[in-house]
Each structure stands twice: as structure tokens, then as C-alpha cells.
């Protein structure tokens, strides 16, 4: 099948978005903060997100770079980047599928068996939401400290343990689990990744209420959960390698464009001369630097160079921009932010969620250590 020229693709994509979504190039970048927002009707929101994903699939805008055999279009990365640029200027119900599309799907394509890869087709059709079962109460940024156990049985595996901070677990049909299968091995070598049916007996999902009011995270308990023998994702004992591949997808963020929308929104708040204005200017400069860095990473990606460990710099920069901007807005608006009738809900959300950008996907300290060792070549401490 001949490939659509990219200029034709861009025109078709814009026509589709104009017909089905609201154009708001300077609107609040809701997808960035969806996991923190209080959602009055979570089930209705889930249904809207799933319907939007199905609409994308039906019109040929889902899985642009994914292979044909799972329902994708197998297009070059330039098409996905062009789509990302376009959709960033529209209001879209996409927050539910962030982990599923950006992390789980690529991992299934990289390590899954033929049967496991068929989940990708259901994902693209909007039929399956997945969650990533990594973090634990005693193993967050130190992922190698995972203690949830998967014990071999005659028919497969039995899982016991607890996960926490699991995004959208209450909506997930399947989970991607990292568990310890060989406690006699070193921390990194005794782990295995699994595909888990979240409706399995013995799984208990408990939503966690955040200070923003939202509850998109959950703690998940496994009590003698039985998994079939073919539930392993990748080889037994190779869970660390599988997980690091997944985190590579996560840490190559593309928030520079979305933060540009947020900065433009903030520019309307009326910044007077003084320290607060200087702080806002710092946020603007950092945002533009981040956008330029990501644009360079995108150019390298289009040239066939995959994101390396230096992509983690974008994660650090994203947290810095959000926090600097949140501090400036807090100084500018002051007590107004605490009034429910102020119409400042979006800015209150930014302020309350800013610390999470320094924790999710590995704390800043963990990421800085990785950059020191793998980018700068410094000796391990």
C-alpha cells in the first residue's frame, strides 16, 4: 500500500481534528495534568477516552508507527511527530491511555509473544486500558528493590505482594507486572515481567486520593493470584532489561510544546516589575530551552538515532519548568488560589501537582545519578 505523502497526511489530520475536537492552541494543557485532576464521573471520563481512541483508529490516526499486523500504519516517526504537534493544540480526552500507548504498547511490541502482541490491536481500538505495576511501598525509585513475589507452580505462577502509585489501575483491563521470581539471584537478575489479567481472583485495587482531589493512582494487592505459564513478558529473569526498556520510553518526554501553552496562559496574569516577574521570565526561558532540546531529539529520532540516556535531561527540565512556573504563579496570585470561587482551579492544580513531576518515573536524584554515570561518564558512587 503506497505511503501517504506527509503534507497530505498533515492536511487530513488537521481536517479530522477540526471536525472532531476544539482548537485551543493557548488553552490549558489538560493531558499533562489529567492524572491529578478531580474527575466527577470517572466512568463517564473513561468512556469518553475509549470512544476517542476508537475514533482515532477508525480514521487511521491510531498507532501511526506501529506495525500493520496489530492495526497500526507502520509510518515513519516523522508522521507521529507531525501528529503530536497538531494534536497538542486541541482539547482531547486522551489522559486515560497515556501509560497504555506510550509505555505498555511499545514494550509489548518489543518483547511480547505473537499472542501478547495482539493486545496492541485491542489497545489501538480503544478496547483495553493497561496499568504498569512497578512501584512498591519499599521500591519506588529503587526499582531493583521490588519484593512482590511470583512463585513457580505446576501450572504457571502464583503472585503475592503489593504495588502502589499505579496509574489508572481501577480502569485497567490488564497490567504489566514486575515481580521477583528468584530471590537467590542478585537484585537486578532475579526479576521477571508478566502480563496480568486485572480481573483475576486475588487482585484488590484501592484508589488513592491525592491532595489535588483526584484519584487516578491506586495501590494494588496480590493475594495468591494465579497466572498461566505463558504470562511471562520476555524471558524469565530478564525483567530488569524489560523494565529499563519501558522506562526509556517514559523518560523521553515531549512536554515542551504543552508547557508552551501553559506559559502563554500564565502571560495573561499581569506580571508587574519585581522578583515575581523575574521568576516567571525564568520559567519562560526554561520552557523554550526544553522545547528546543526536544526538537533536536526529534530530529535525531527522524534520522534513525533512538533516544539515549541524555533524553532523561528532558524529564528534569520538565519538572523544573513546572515548579518554577508554579512558584511564580503562587507569588502572583497569592491567597486568591485558595478561594473556591476564584476561577483559578487550573492554576491551583498546577501548584499542587508540581512536586509529582520530580518523583514520577524516578526521582530527580535517581535521574541525575543516571545522567552522571551514563551521559557524563562519572564513576559510580
Residues constituting the chain: 381
How far is Cα 105 from Cα 337, in angstroms, rounded to an integer?
A: 39
250 noted as active-site residue: yes
- The C-alpha cell that represents 308 in the structure block: 539515549
How far is Cα 173 from Cα 342, in angstroms, rounded to an integer?
A: 38
Q: Name the helix (H) or strand (E) containing 47.
A: helix 42-58
Q: Helix 312-333 crosses helix 239-251 at what angle (to 10 degrees)? A: 50
**The pairing of beta strand 130-133 with beta strand 174-180:** parallel
Is 339 within 8 Å of 276 (Cβ atoms)?
A: no
How far is Cα 50 from Cα 128, in angstroms, rounded to an integer?
A: 8
Is 171 within 8 Å of 199 (Cβ atoms)?
A: no
E-state strands within 147-216: 149-152, 156-167, 174-180, 191-197, 203-208
168, 219, 250, 294: the catalytic one is 250
Q: Name the helix (H) or strand (E) containing 222.
A: strand 217-228
What residues are annotated to the active site? Answer: 250
Amino acid at each position: 500500500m503506497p505511503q501517504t505523502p506527509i503534507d497530505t497526511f498533515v492536511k487530513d489530520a488537521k481536517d479530522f481534528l477540526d471536525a472532531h475536537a476544539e482548537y485551543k492552541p493557548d488553552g490549558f494543557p489538560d493531558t499533562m495534568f489529567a492524572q491529578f485532576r478531580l474527575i466527577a464521573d470517572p466512568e463517564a471520563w473513561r468512556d469518553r477516552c475509549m470512544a476517542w481512541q476508537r475514533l482515532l483508529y477508525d480514521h487511521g490516526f491510531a498507532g501511526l508507527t506501529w506495525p500493520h499486523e496489530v492495526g497500526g500504519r507502520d509510518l515513519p516517526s516523522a508522521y507521529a511527530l507531525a501528529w503530536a504537534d497538531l494534536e497538542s493544540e486541541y482539547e482531547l480526552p486522551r489522559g486515560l491511555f497515556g501509560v497504555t500507548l506510550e509505555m505498555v504498547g511499545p514494550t509489548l511490541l518489543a518483547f511480547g509473544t505473537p499472542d501478547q502482541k495482539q493486545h496492541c490491536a485491542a489497545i489501538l481500538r480503544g478496547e483495553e486500558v493497561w496499568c504498569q505495576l512497578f512501584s512498591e511501598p519499599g521500591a519506588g525509585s529503587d526499582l531493583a528493590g521490588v519484593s512482590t513475589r511470583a512463585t513457580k507452580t505446576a501450572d504457571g505462577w502464583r503472585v503475592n505482594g503489593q504495588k502502589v502509585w499505579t496509574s489508572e489501575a481501577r480502569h485497567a483491563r490488564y497490567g504489566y507486572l514486575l515481580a521477583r521470581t528468584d530471590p537467590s539471584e542478585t537484585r537486578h537478575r532475579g526479576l521477571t515481567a508478566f502480563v496480568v489479567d486485572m480481573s483475576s481472583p486475588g487482585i484488590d485495587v484501592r484508589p488513592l486520593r491525592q491532595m489535588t482531589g483526584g484519584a487516578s493512582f491506586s495501590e494494588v494487592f496480590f493475594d495468591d493470584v494465579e497466572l498461566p505459564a505463558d504470562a511471562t513478558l520476555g524471558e524469565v529473569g530478564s525483567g530488569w532489561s524489560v523494565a529499563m526498556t519501558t522506562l526509556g520510553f517514559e523518560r523521553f518526554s515531549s512536554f515542551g510544546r504543552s508547557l508552551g501553552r501553559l506559559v502563554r496562559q500564565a502571560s495573561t496574569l499581569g506580571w508587574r516589575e519585581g522578583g515575581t516577574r523575574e521568576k516567571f521570565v525564568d520559567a519562560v526561558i526554561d520552557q523554550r530551552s526544553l522545547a528546543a532540546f526536544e526538537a533536536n531529539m526529534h530530529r535525531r529520532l527522524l534520522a534513525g538515532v533512538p533516544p539515549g540516556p541524555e533524553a532523561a535531561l528532558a524529564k528534569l527540565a520538565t519538572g523544573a519548568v513546572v515548579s518554577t512556573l508554579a512558584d511564580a504563579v503562587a507569588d502572583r496570585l497569592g491567597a486568591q488560589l485558595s478561594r473556591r470561587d476564584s476561577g483559578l482551579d487550573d492554576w491551583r492544580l498546577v501548584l499542587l501537582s508540581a512536586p509529582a513531576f520530580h518523583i514520577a518515573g524516578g526521582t530527580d536524584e535517581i535521574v541525575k545519578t543516571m545522567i552522571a554515570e551514563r551521559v557524563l561518564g562519572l564513576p559510580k558512587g
